[in-house]
Amino acid sequence: MARRHRGALLRVGEVRSSGLVVSYLIGSDDEPPTVVVHASCRAGAGWAELTLPQAAHLVDQLGSLLAQAGDPGEGEHGRQ
């Protein structure tokens, strides 16, 4: 069964400077949808197809990294 994009193509970053991440939803009538993530930079490109639980796990990991980073006033070892 042919697969097709579902929804918007979402972009973060700039390909010429630090890199670009593109994500979108893809699916078919016979299989559950997957989230596709493409990442590219000057050194090359890669991609992954994630099941919805895997995509949720990635979101949790990114949220955890943001929480660890804290607000802009915090350094690596807390407020300085």
- pLDDT for residue 71 is more than 70: no
- pLDDT for residue 76 is more than 60: no
The lowest-confidence range among 1-5, 34-38, 66-70 is 1-5
Query: 22-63: per-residue pLDDT in tens?
Result: 999 998 778 889 999 999 988 888 999 999 999 999 999 999
- Contact of 13 with 5, CB cutoff 8 Å: no
* Confidence (pLDDT) at 19: 87
* Confidence (pLDDT) at 3: 78
The residue to which tokens 């630090």 are assigned? 18
DSSP string, 1-18: ---EEEEEEEEEEETTTT
